[in-house]
Amino acid sequence: MATTRGYKYHIYPNAAQASCINKTLGCCRFVYNHFLALRCDEWNANHVSIRYEDTSRLLTEMKRREETSWLKEADSMALQEALRNLDAAFQKFFQKLARYPRFKSKRRHQQSYRTRNQKDGIRFDGENHLRLPKIGSVRIRKSRDFDGRILNATISRTASGKYFVSLCVEEDVAFAPCGTGKVGIDVGLKEFFTDSDGRTVANPRILRKYQRKLAREQRCLARKMPRSRNRDKQRIRVARVYEHIGNIRRDFLQKLTTRLIDENQVIAVEHLQVKNMLRNHHLARAISDASWSEFFRLLEYKTAWRGASVLQVDTFYPSSQTCSCCGHRNPITKDLSIREWTCPVCGAHHNRDENAAKNILARALGQTG
């Protein structure tokens, strides 16, 4: 099956290459912010909308001016991609899919730019080097191989100063077939999820595990003098703790979702409005640490690859209150402290989360049947 996939690698640029990457990041940020301000001013003054083609022409003129001739030092395709990103941000705003575009900050946690593969400008030089436009041959940790055509590359710098490249590759992939089971999943905070077969997966609570270490490093950061070298060193230490937490969380979610799809053809989940749930200040940190949105996102694209399906049940379906045996709705189970209950009609004894998972599966299969 022909598909587009991303491959992310750790790269190790030398001092000159790192300087070139940082310069390109700054130029892309400048171009984005400059033309965002231009489009805003033109609309406020004359109610005229500037298109991507107009900004591309103006960028060419800027490179010819003496005061902005330094833009020539950056990758020209990366600057064009910055303009395309700006235009896409406006299009999403007009379609009411995102808020109004905002200016990019130099102090964002992660900086990145995208460049296209023209005339085989992005290619591997041997086993451990990758050639990138304007940067040259950079050392890379090639953790995975692929057999396909590179469409573009996104070079990023993390808050801790590490560099990565993400290659967008068009390739023909023969995915392993998924399992044949059908399972319903009820996510939670105490247990990451409980399925309709009664199995549970413990919530790793990664942020809570590293909370004391993170707080200690943040207290050290707060004591440093502003704009000092010691403060910058401490900022990197804090960033490394955050990166470690994120890496552990991604590893857990990737392995868990892959295992689910290896075993099941149909996975039923509840459609949760996670963004709205985060407004609960008592549970916001725990919900963020669980990363339900990322879990559902991984399930969506992995099932699409392997021919499985994710079925969603309505947000307000009372899965925890309904008896999975007879269908009786028990209102006293609205109290979240009730973890087990007995149906007053049929006498079936239920574990709250397992019962909810069974109801989610039955409801999802009923909707498609």
Q: State the catalytic residues.
A: 186, 270, 353
CA nearest to 178, candidates 54, 262, 268 = 262
Determine the Cα–Cα distance for residues 265 and 261; give it in Å rounded to an integer.
Answer: 7
CA distances from 256 to 1, 4, 154, 193, 199 (A): 24, 23, 27, 11, 13
Q: Are 248 and 254 in contact (CB under 8 A)?
A: no
CA distances from 29 to 83, 85, 162 (A): 10, 11, 19
What's the DSSP call for residue 329?
B
- DSSP string for 92-142: HHHTTSS----PPPTT-S-EEEEEE--TT-SEE-SSSEEEETTTEEEEEE-
Identify the H or E element spanning 23. Answer: helix 15-46
End-to-end CA distance of the chain: 28
Q: Are 270 and 313 in contact (CB under 8 A)?
A: yes
